[in-house]
Structure 1
Amino acid sequence: MFTTKTFIKKTRIGHFLKHVREHYIRDDISCGFKSCEKCQPVESFLSPDHHNKCSLFNYNHYIILDTNVILDQLDVLEEAPIGNVIILHTVLTEVKHRSLPIYKKLFTLIENPSKHYYIFTNDHHKDTYIEQLDGELVNDYNDRCIRKACSWYMEHLPNEKFILLTEDADNRNIANEEGITACSIFPYVKHMNDNAVLEDKLSRKEIYLDKDAKDLFPPHLNNVELLTGIKEGTLYQGTFRASRDNFLEGYVSVEALEDQVLVQGRAGLNRAVDGDVVVVELFDKSDWISPSEIILEDEGGVEDVKDIEQKEKELKETATKKKGEIKPTGKVVGIIRRKWRQYCGILQGGLEGVYQLFVPADRSIPKIRIETRQAEFLKTQKLIVTIDSWPRYSRYPHGHFVRALGKIGDQTTENEVILLEHDVPHSQFSEEVLSCLPKLPWIITDDDVQKRVDLRDLDICSVDPPGCTDIDDALHCREVGDHLEVGVHIADVSHFIRPGTALDLEAQSRGTTVYLVNNRIDMVPDLLSSNLCSLRGGEERFAFSCIWEIDKNANILNTRFHKSIIKSKVAMTYEEAQMTIDDKSKNDNIAKSLRYLNMLAKILKKRRLENGALVLASPEVKIMMDSETMEPLDIEVKKMFQTMSMVEEFMLLANISVAEKILQDFPECACLRRHPVPPSSNFDPLIKAGRHLGLEIKIDSGKDLAKSLDDAVKPDNPYLNTMLRILATRCMLQAVYFASGTLQKEDYFHYGLAVPLYTHFTSPIRRYADIIVHRLLAVSCGADATYAVLLDKSKTNEICQNLNYRNRMAQYAGRASIAFNTHLFFKGKLQDEQGYILYVRKNALQVLIPRYGLESTLYLARKGESSNIFEYNEEDQTQRAKDVVLHAFDPVKVRLSLNSDNIQHEKFVLQLVSPFIEGFSVPPIEEMDTSCEPTNDSGKKRKSTGDEKKNKNKKSPKNKN
């Protein structure tokens, strides 16, 4: 049946509009109790065998929750002692409206039979539906709906007991007056059996330590003041990013301003956490300063105010207004939206009682104050903690314990931390997803051959890194008359992943495959990534081919695209392909194909560079692992081959050709990739570094920058050019995906490649963007049908935003995995290595060690002390010690060791070996005697571990062999 409500509204011109709303009411909705004889039987996980044990109530009972308990206390609700929970549809709808991530987590609980949850559709039940009163607030109406459902359950099942858990004191009082037993979750959990773990997981939005507590931070402006200031242009909204080198410094990216806004000190940061959307107030230009050149780490205790005051004093003493480096400076005055999430880390040692300090693995996140009754156990574990609040009287935000991941130092635990900390989806593929996969044995049918271009007779080969199993691409080149035919053949993943299926939605959510050391988190199940879609040698596979007719000067005469069937003749590594090209005795079709491809690639690359494409650099390292123990054996910078560049050139060319085609056919919804032009201020460190070397770095255009980098060569420092390119890489903005209809055409430009149009087509096994592009191209070629979402530019742009985020997190996770395994390799080792100074700081040198792709800090003084050996020249950016002057890019030899005093943030300790400076440098390892012990980062001797003594004069495996 229906219930109706009529609304009459008078218009400005005197007419009346009548709105009639209908609401569907049912009489067949079950209470969910199997023992109930009044309701129709339905599937329900509610169980008489589960008992909620709380000493406040000396009887077994069922729990009904209000919205805020779910939003704030889901970590508690996930625990096993709490079950037999009734979720009202009114509450479920409000949770979905207020937090989609919590809604999804809640549904995981509801679908778990062991948790005994049941959804009761109270807002459509004939006995529990109530109408909203005129003028009644939504919150009050929802509370009334919840109480009505509680009363109905009590009347419907008089032999069962029900407890309403609500954090709203007014709602509790009214419920109790109406005869409903209501309770706050805090006393409920406190009186449960074995409550220590549950109490730790309680979210405490407000904690009052002391009514007379002194404010450490300024109060935030209220929402009205913030919005008014933004509207009037006196305040600016942006995203806060914390410095990883200085815990008292950060930046706010404001769309309306060309430069980021620098914020410093307690008052400047004002409780902003990395990723928060904040509001800043700019200082007068006369008060703008330069970013700090000192490195500051937070070493304080729970409420150690003296430490932070001392650090702020250091910061103020070093504040400068260097010409050309002054940044817009301001302070955070309010928070629009928190970006708080769950953080991985460990407890800081040395604290007693229920209050403990949690140290996040992410250095850009402040320490978090938590309350726990199991500190002794948790100090041995890697933990997950979340932030609940940050009162202005507390030095640190307050949070609560979520769960333990495993023992500190365990390799499996550390890999889990890397994935969680970088928000990498890594759970097993669900049965629903796996059900979308083709059944084995999979064969190519005659019908498949009819629908595709058969290229199985072509001499096609793939060229990839060693050990690669997810082979996306293959190539061929052959003579056709006076010209060459070149084909790039890409795995046809979109054939197996159909739009809107569970498999498609999972791949879309994951966005990209994540590569860790000795591990890979696939975007799609292994059956596709390493088997049916992988273009393995000697096996027939579906492909999407981009084929050009090219003359021998690499000019494209014709381009065509089609779905195909191929049979790669061989899967080669880069080194094998290079050896085939170089071996003049080999003249088979594959060797000829590779030589033609290599010849054309050189011409294409030369042409790209002449157009202004950048050749940047970042140290890429390869970690050799022991196949049995999975311990790192050696670390080396990846070896480069010409064949890498050869493959890259044709992948770039295919991506450009496909971008042109899909934009032509889908001008509003093509999925493209752009690389924004960096703001000129981003290049300040590069220009300054060049100036100190007597080099002029021009940045007027990408072509000018490319030429400046090509010309920046000094015979006495062969690594100089590489370091400048590394610095240039750090000046760049992130390349991003976007939907064509959301930007002007001039914004499509890819700065790094110097091309007006670009997309990703060549790696659909590991990138979801490429799957979208394949679907667009398939429609263009008439090989597949379109669908609504594909043509929706706003939906495409929404997908692109997720892909940009997932891509960024995957990069960070990969780097973190390399860093962790590098630390494992260096445990207990002392090594002298060649390095180069990248930056000269006021209290330190940042040194790059090319052999390991490492960048680390060499401190020039003990912590809390100023150096009496070095003299810093701010103008020249140099450090002088007697007759030795250290500049950026100078070669140095450093002693490298790992300091594990802080298990959470193990770090490399550098000591200067050469140039030798009396009273500061250390002798080379071969000259060390037994009195020379490794030191910690403050320069003090520390006790050698057994491994260090064992390895003191032992070379790395690479040197040994």
Structure 2
Amino acid sequence: MVKIAEQENFDEKILGIVAKGKRNPVGVEELSRKLKVAKGDQDAFEKRLTRLVEAGELYYKRRGFVLPKNEGLTAAEIVRVNSTYGFARPVGADGDLFIPGRGLMGSLPGDMVLLKTYPSRKEGSLGEGEVVSIAKAAACRFTGVVSRNQDFFEVVPDKMLGFPVRLVSGKANRYKEGDKVLCEIVSRGPRHYNHKARVIEVFGSSLKADNCAQSLIRLSDVNVDFPAVVSEAAEHINASGIHPKERENRLDLREEVIFTIDSADSKDLDDAVSVKKTAEGWELGVHIADVSYYVHPQSPLDNEAYERGTSIYYADRVIPMLPKALSNGICSLNEGEDRLAFSCLMKLDPTGTLISYDFQKTLIRSKVKGVYSEINAILAGEASPEIMEKYSAVMESIHLIDELCDLRLQKKRERGSLELVTCESKIILDENRDVKEIVPRGTGRSENIIEELMLLANESAATFALDKHLPFCFRVHEPPSPEKLQNLSELLGAIGQDKRGIQPGVSSLRLDEILQKVRGTKYQMIVNSQMLRTMSKAKYSEKNIGHFGLVLQNYAHFTSPIRRYPDLFIHRVMSAYLAGSGVERLSKRFGKVAGPTANQSSEREVVAMTIERDCEDCYKAEYILHHLGEEMEGVVSSTTNFGIYVMLPNTVEGLVRAQTLGDSFQYDGRMEYKDMLSPRRYRIGDTVTVKVMGADVSAGKIDFEFV
């Protein structure tokens, strides 16, 4: 008999036999006999059956198996539950099914279940379902706040679970009422109120955003600390410095006027620039830390960086992709220190059009650690004598890159690159790590300069890879979907804006025309908000499909290998090519890993962005907690069927719940609430006055009411 592991399409054979039985269960012995399973292979066979059951492909019924579809059942994953209802997403479907509380059978988010489905009772509503079987119970972990319920403790979950869960007593109850905790379900009952959980970790008071941020990071299974072997490897590399032979093998640019521009508190400086104006036009250098020289494939350092995918930034902290011995040490392009770089040396004509590029392994020495705010002051003519003295060695270059940036920005506008207005926040903490202030994170001239120069290097790297037919990891952005374009078109029509051409195939130039037309008007926030929702999510891919938002046929991420794994990956590919590896050899070495690397990096980027956003919400809620009862002016930023979001000038956003408006207000489903008994209405973009009613730091939620 052939062993299970050696049989082709074994799962399909199992499902085929069960399918022939229709609604008559097929037992384990019958399946084993028909499939000629060896006696020594019986355990492996039964494990295979268990996996099929857990995946929802088989249903165990009366001592045998049937196909779920033959029983009228649908495999689905529970995605959210509350005390009275839940939602399940059928396998392979985009939409969710509504599950009434009585039909949940105690299931929890992440559970794979089999459902009986029913048509919706209301036209236009979700279909409904009822859990018949929990095929595979998920390991349910969640964060929440400890609460006392008479003579026992329970935890009120932040998200995912919409009901309190009773806590089992441990050897020592280290938690107290009001603590932020990480829990896991340890006992399930037939109904949600029968479930019990235990506390895994206590973070401290739920009123402190720092504690809540730590719980979010812990729940996401993000590694904050590096394994000892990784830290030791990084320390050794940093202590070893640059090998003398490596200095000799590189293009020596240490005498060139090269400098970095970053925020004042940045320590991981992975890019530097240089510029010259010539009779033929411009010579521009973008010099990137040569991280791939130090981090070798499949090494402990590389494996850890791959798993992390990106650095995570929140408040004043960073969870780096690489240990600080590298990110802040030997790889950081620090002022006055020799550093290995991977340089993109470009030539542009007098109009700023790229003529050629050349990628070189270089040795550089940054002349100055430039700071955005200081260079902005120089360009605005407002710099102090001390700042002017600091930048004296690079002053000419600063004005040259400013001039070149004007040319590049003009080309950007001509091709229709989207200029979306976004509101980023800067969180300022005091010495006790309490939130002192929240302010908008401004973007000045020097930030725009660096962005444009990095875009040019990134585009050149992608073009280089395509020209040389290299296996690669591109940064791609698909055009908007027809459904999202329809929503945008309806909004534009509702506010009296020109919606012509807003249909599949619309150009980025047309969309940018709309943004420019409403800039500075009361409709700017409305249109920007809807435009952001219209855009697809940019991601990484081994296949180049272009970047819709930037209006570039070729694009990749080359300029941040300290904090983004795709950049490190493409550095590796390009370095191998420049070292003499042929395309065929490179395809064998990197071809099979380009796709998985792109997928992993895209997934980790989403995780990082979610953590950063959720942590920021907690800090904002802590800030507003100190302003309860105060009246503040803000702008209606968005509307939903459950209320109106209002954003304050400092970027803090809160919800005015629909029930606080009164029964006479009706929502139009798009952008405004209107009072049917008076002229009053609240529309996206309106300036309003709100009163701070409450803040839940743990959940990152803020409540306002209109004054």
Q: Quick check: 2:100–2:130 contact (8 Å CA) kept in 1?
A: no
Quote the residue 2:326 is aligned against. 528
Q: CA deviation at 1:289?
A: 1.7
Q: Quick check: 2:241–2:330 contact (8 Å CA) kept in 1?
A: no
The answer as to 2:635 corresponding to 1:847 is no
Write the distance in 1 (CA, Å) between the matches of 2:218 and 2:655.
27
Write the distance in 2 (CA, Å) between the matches of 1:358 and 1:685.
40
* 1:753–1:285 CA distance, 2 compared to 1 (3 A): farther
560, 572, 579: which is aligned to 2:358? 560
Write the distance in 1 (CA, Å) between the matches of 2:162 and 2:561.
38
Q: CA deviation at 1:532?
A: 1.0
Quote the residue 2:160 is aligned against. 364
* 1:478–1:249 CA distance, 2 compared to 1 (3 A): farther
The answer as to 2:562 corresponding to 1:765 is yes
Q: CA deviation at 1:692?
A: 2.8
* Larger-Rg structure: 1
Write the distance in 1 (CA, Å) between the matches of 2:2 and 2:662.
80
496, 512, 517: which is aligned to 1:694? 496
The answer as to 2:481 corresponding to 1:679 is yes
The answer as to 2:662 corresponding to 1:867 is yes
* 1:731–1:387 CA distance, 2 compared to 1 (3 A): farther
404, 411, 418: which is aligned to 1:614? 418
* 1:404–1:790 CA distance, 2 compared to 1 (3 A): farther
1:513-552 Cα deviation digits (max 9, x unpaired):
1112121111111111112111112211110001111012
1:469-491 Cα deviation digits (max 9, x unpaired):
10110111102332210011000
Matches within 5 A, 1:325-724: 329=127, 331=129, 340-350=139-149, 352-353=151-152, 357-361=154-158, 363-367=159-163, 369-373=165-169, 378-380=175-177, 381-387=179-185, 393-395=190-192, 398=195, 400-409=197-206, 413-435=211-233, 437-438=235-236, 441-583=239-381, 590-626=394-430, 628-667=431-470, 669-683=471-485, 686-697=488-499, 698-700=502-504, 701-703=506-508, 704-713=510-519, 715=521, 717=522, 720-724=523-527
TM-score after normalising by structure 1: 0.60
TM-score after normalising by structure 2: 0.80
Q: Quick check: 1:434–1:503 contact (8 Å CA) kept in 2?
A: no
Q: Quick check: 2:80–2:88 contact (8 Å CA) kept in 1?
A: yes
Write the distance in 2 (CA, Å) between the matches of 1:756 and 1:614.
15
Match for 2:304: what amino acid? E
1:490-526 Cα deviation digits (max 9, x unpaired):
0011111111211111111121111121211111111
1:250-281 Cα deviation digits (max 9, x unpaired):
584876x7x64464644797877556667788
Q: CA deviation at 1:658?
A: 0.7
* 1:911–1:431 CA distance, 2 compared to 1 (3 A): same
Match for 1:750: what amino acid? H
Match for 1:416: what amino acid? Q
Write the distance in 1 (CA, Å) between the matches of 2:138 and 2:278.
58
Of stretches 787-796 and 223-232 in structure 1, the one that deviates more from structure 2 is: 223-232
Quote the residue 2:705 is aligned against. 911
Write the distance in 2 (CA, Å) between the matches of 1:240 and 1:825.
34
Write the distance in 1 (CA, Å) between the matches of 2:84 and 2:479.
29
1:410-468 Cα deviation digits (max 9, x unpaired):
56543421211233211244135413543565444541222111111111111112211
The answer as to 2:539 corresponding to 1:736 is yes
Q: Secondary structure at the match of 1:435?
A: helix
The answer as to 2:509 corresponding to 1:727 is no
Match for 1:870: what amino acid? F
* 1:6–1:260 CA distance, 2 compared to 1 (3 A): closer
1:224-272 Cα deviation digits (max 9, x unpaired):
899957799x98877765499x9957584876x7x64464644797877
1:837-862 Cα deviation digits (max 9, x unpaired):
2334455222222x222222112435
Match for 1:654: what amino acid? A
Matches within 5 A, 1:926-937: none
* 1:466–1:281 CA distance, 2 compared to 1 (3 A): farther
Q: Quick check: 1:789–1:795 contact (8 Å CA) kept in 2?
A: no
Query: Percent of aligned pairs with the same residue?
Result: 22
Q: CA deviation at 1:820?
A: 2.2
Write the distance in 1 (CA, Å) between the matches of 2:476 and 2:201.
41
Q: Quick check: 2:108–2:140 contact (8 Å CA) kept in 1?
A: no
* 1:803–1:872 CA distance, 2 compared to 1 (3 A): closer
Bigger strand share? 2
Write the distance in 1 (CA, Å) between the matches of 2:295 and 2:186.
40
Q: CA deviation at 1:343?
A: 1.9
Q: Which runs of 5+ in 1 are unaligned?
A: 12-131, 143-219, 291-327, 914-961
Write the distance in 2 (CA, Å) between the matches of 1:425 and 1:550.
43
Quote the residue 1:137 is aligned against. 42
833, 845, 851: which is aligned to 2:632? 833
Q: Secondary structure at the match of 2:192?
A: coil
Quote the residue 2:694 is aligned against. 898
* 1:534–1:252 CA distance, 2 compared to 1 (3 A): same
1:681-721 Cα deviation digits (max 9, x unpaired):
23555444433322244253242322222223574x2xx31
1:132-159 Cα deviation digits (max 9, x unpaired):
97366216999xxxxxxxxxxxxxxxxx
Q: CA deviation at 1:563?
A: 0.8
Q: Secondary structure at the match of 1:594?
A: helix
Q: Quick check: 1:837–1:890 contact (8 Å CA) kept in 2?
A: yes
Q: Which gives a bigger RCO, structure 1 or 2 (Cα 8 Å, sep 6+)?
A: 2
Q: CA deviation at 1:887?
A: 2.3
Of stretches 549-558 and 682-691 in structure 1, the one that deviates more from structure 2 is: 682-691
Q: Secondary structure at the match of 1:546?
A: strand
1:299-344 Cα deviation digits (max 9, x unpaired):
xxxxxxxxxxxxxxxxxxxxxxxxxxxxx74547677766645322
Q: Quick check: 2:281–2:352 contact (8 Å CA) kept in 1?
A: no
Q: Secondary structure at the match of 1:690?
A: helix
1:42-88 Cα deviation digits (max 9, x unpaired):
xxxxxxxxxxxxxxxxxxxxxxxxxxxxxxxxxxxxxxxxxxxxxxx
Q: Quick check: 1:839–1:845 contact (8 Å CA) kept in 2?
A: yes
* 1:882–1:329 CA distance, 2 compared to 1 (3 A): same
* 1:728–1:790 CA distance, 2 compared to 1 (3 A): farther
Quote the residue 1:882 is aligned against. 678
Write the distance in 2 (CA, Å) between the matches of 1:516 and 1:876.
31
Write the distance in 2 (CA, Å) between the matches of 1:591 and 1:608.
26
* 1:912–1:348 CA distance, 2 compared to 1 (3 A): same
591, 594, 599: which is aligned to 1:796? 594
Write the distance in 1 (CA, Å) between the matches of 2:534 and 2:635.
19
Write the distance in 2 (CA, Å) between the matches of 1:420 and 1:351.
30
Matches within 5 A, 1:106-505: 134=39, 137-138=42-43, 223=59, 242=80, 248=85, 252=89, 260-261=95-96, 263=98, 265-266=100-101, 288-289=123-124, 329=127, 331=129, 340-350=139-149, 352-353=151-152, 357-361=154-158, 363-367=159-163, 369-373=165-169, 378-380=175-177, 381-387=179-185, 393-395=190-192, 398=195, 400-409=197-206, 413-435=211-233, 437-438=235-236, 441-505=239-303
Q: Quick check: 2:116–2:130 contact (8 Å CA) kept in 1?
A: yes
Q: Which runs of 5+ in 2 are unaligned?
A: 8-36, 48-55
Q: CA deviation at 1:403?
A: 1.6
Write the distance in 2 (CA, Å) between the matches of 1:581 and 1:249.
56
Q: Secondary structure at the match of 1:349?
A: strand
